[in-house]
Amino acid sequence: MTAQIQQKKFYFEALKFYYLNIILHYQLDQVKNDIKNMKIKCEEFNKKKRRKNSEIIKPHACQHCQKTYATYAAKYKHIKIKHRE
């Protein structure tokens, strides 16, 4: 009689651990998904947005070819490389 009771206790204990294991796996999957979503949001947040070429104001024009540049240094470098005499 006591052997049967011990077997039932063992069986119920095994079932308890089985269901707890299933619950833990489910929770682990949820945490993994949360981490993945946080990484995606973090990457999007840290991404630098570039301006389009048409949005940049370019007041510096080359005297030789009328190409425009946003900074004097960029224009100077262009003249030095392209229009070397």
Can you give the pLDDT of all 85 residues of the chain as single tens digits? 788 888 989 999 999 999 999 999 999 999 999 999 998 888 877 777 888 888 889 999 999 998 999 999 999 999 999 998 6
Cα separation, 20 vs 5, in Å, equals 22
pTM strictly above 0.85: no
Give 1-35 as a DSSP string: -HHHHHHHHHHHHHHHHHHHHHHHHHHHHHHHHHH
